[in-house]
Every structure is written in structure tokens, then in C-alpha cells.
Amino acid sequence: MKRPMSLFVSAVVAFLLTTVHVPAKKLKADQLVALHLKAIGENLVWKNRVAQGLGTMDIRVGGQGRLGGPAMLLSEGDKLRTVFNFGHTQYPKELLVRNGKKVDISYISPGVRSQLGRTIWNEFPRLAQEGLYGGVLTTDWALLDLRKRRAKVRYRGLKKFDDKKLHELEYRPKKGVDYRIRLYFEPETYRHVASHYRLVIPDGMGRGLVDISGDGPGATNPGIGANPGPGGAGGSRRELGNQSGPGSRSFINLIERFSDFKEVDSLALPHDYKITVNFDSSSSFVGHWQIKIDRISHNRKISPRAFAIK
């Protein structure tokens, strides 16, 4: 009986040596990034990636409305195209295109972007160029080559996010931005499960935010229970930073969440991608854009026109 027991103990010791868990207090930023990349898989470099499925838009605060339709995320090198095809007369599609350093976000009507498009374009510029937007679903994910980007990262420990304790990584682009960037990773798997971009606007420091309360001269009623329009684009424009009492602040949050990881070509990739826009100000807004991905493929033939910017 002694020999089987000794073999068992040896097997346990070998297992522990090959699955060393780095304590959170001793974990460094570069270690977290390395563990994250290892968690994705060994073959990280692909010519392109296509993720497609059902896209939805759901406005919860600052209006009411829900739309759905086919959605797709295409990436090739530093090029990116994300599209939600809703087919609604007032919100036909949500389209973001990146071609190298150039980025364009489509209008949902002449001169008007959706609340999502406007938030990315006005409040959180350079997310796409930095390789942050879309996370690991893109071939140009920011953490794949930090040296090339010359970005700075700092490990901030285990922090509570969405009622879970996650590894928090602060990300600072080479060219500074006036908003905060935090990336979150599961302690057990080191998978990237969320990105939180937060802009703080002190009282009296408005940045031309949009009042989406729906009672302004630009408010619309598209007939699907949404007021303002289905993309959160209605309402009058005013400086939200000037609407509260002394010492108050307004917050704009853009949150990406990644879940339902499945193996595709030896890579662990999320199949649920959710984007949330949240305005915590005198005129609140909460909206969700989500893709339930049913197919991810690599090295497909993609027309250059997919990444063309007009």
C-alpha cells in the first residue's frame, strides 16, 4: 500500500509545481499580461478574424426601445469593422470602421450619430486606434504588443467589479487621455472579461454632452416605445456639467463585457460581447448593445472595401 500512496503524493506535488498560482499582492503588471496571453492560447497571430451573430440594442434609461438584427465584427491587422444591422428607419445600423489610424462612425441620420456612436466619437476617442475597443475579439488587441504601443500598465490588485473580485489593470496610452481606462481579468483563468472607460466632468466643465431626456425640440417618437429615438439620439443639446450644484460632477461610462468563452482554432474567445453606455448626470442614460456570437472564423477572404472610410 505504501508504493501507490507515494506515487499519489508525487503526482500531487508535480501538479502543484506546474499550476503555480501567483498571489495577488505579488502579481506585477507584466506577469498579469503574460498570464492573460497564455490563457488565450498559443497561436495568437492570425491574418484576420470574423465574428458574427445576433446583435441587439436595448435602451433602459433616458428612453425605451429594443432592436435586433445581424451583427458582425471583422478585424485584420490594425483594421476593424463592427456593424449592427437593425434595419429601422430611424436607426438602420451602427457602424464603426478603423483603417489604421483613421476611424469613422456612421450617422444614423444626416449629421446625427447614435448615443453609442456619439459617446465613442466625442467622449472616448482613440479607443479603436489603441486596440482596446473589441478586446481580444480583434487581431490588434492592445495587450498583444505593449512595447509597440509604448503604453503603460499598472496592476491595481483584486477589485470588485460586477459583484466579483477581479484583477484590475490600469492602462495608459502613450499619448495621454482625459478619461480613465481599467481592464479586468478573472483570477482563476486570467481571461479578459471587462473594460471600463470612465470620464469625470467637474461642475462647470461641460464637454457638450447631449441631453437625452426626450423633451427637447429634437425629441422623436419612432413608434417602438423609444423616446428619444431608438439609438438614444433625440433630445436637445446642453452642457450637462453645469446643471448640478456646487462641487458636483458628471460621469460618463463606457463598459465592454466579454463572456461565454469557447475554444476556436485553439484560442479561448468570448462569444458574448456587450457594450454599455451609462451617463450618471443631471440627464441620465443607460443603453446596451450586445452581440451573441454564433460563429468565429479565421483567415477568411475579406474585401478591402470592408475597411474603407469614405
Q: What's 123's DSSP letter?
A: I
Spatial distance between the Cα atoms of 223 and 244, rounded to a whole number of angstroms: 32
Residue 135's alpha-carbon distances to 132, 158, 159, 282, in angstroms, are 5, 20, 20, 31
Task: Please give the span between the terminal C-alpha atoms of the chain, in angstroms, as a whole number.
Answer: 76
- Give 148-159 pLDDT, tens digit per residue: 999 999 999 999
Predicted local distance difference test score (pLDDT) of residue 18: 41
Residue 24's contacts (CB-CB under 8 Å, 6 or more residues apart) are: 157, 158, 167, 187
Q: How confident is the model at residue 280, as a pLDDT?
A: 84
- Secondary structure of 265-292 in the HEC alphabet? CCEEEEEEEEEEEEEECCCCEEEEEEEE
Domains, the chain, ordered by start? 26-296 (2.50.20)
Q: How high is the mean pLDDT of the chain? A: 83
Whether 86 contacts 222, CB under 8 Å: no
Q: What is the pLDDT of residue 210?
A: 35
The mean per-residue pLDDT over the stretch 203-229 comes to 38
Q: Residue 307: CB partners within 8 Å, gap ≥ 6? A: 74, 76, 79, 80, 81, 97, 98, 99
The average pLDDT across 12-25 equals: 47
Summarised one tens digit per residue, pLDDT across range 66-90 is 999 999 999 999 999 999 999 999 9
Which tens digits make up the pLDDT trace of 165-213?
999 999 999 988 999 999 999 999 999 999 999 999 886 555 443 332 2
pTM across the whole model = 0.82
Q: Is the pLDDT of residue 230 over 80?
A: no
- Residue 281 confidence (pLDDT): 72
Q: How confident is the model over 8-16, as a mean pLDDT?
A: 37
Instruction: Output the pLDDT for position 203.
Output: 66
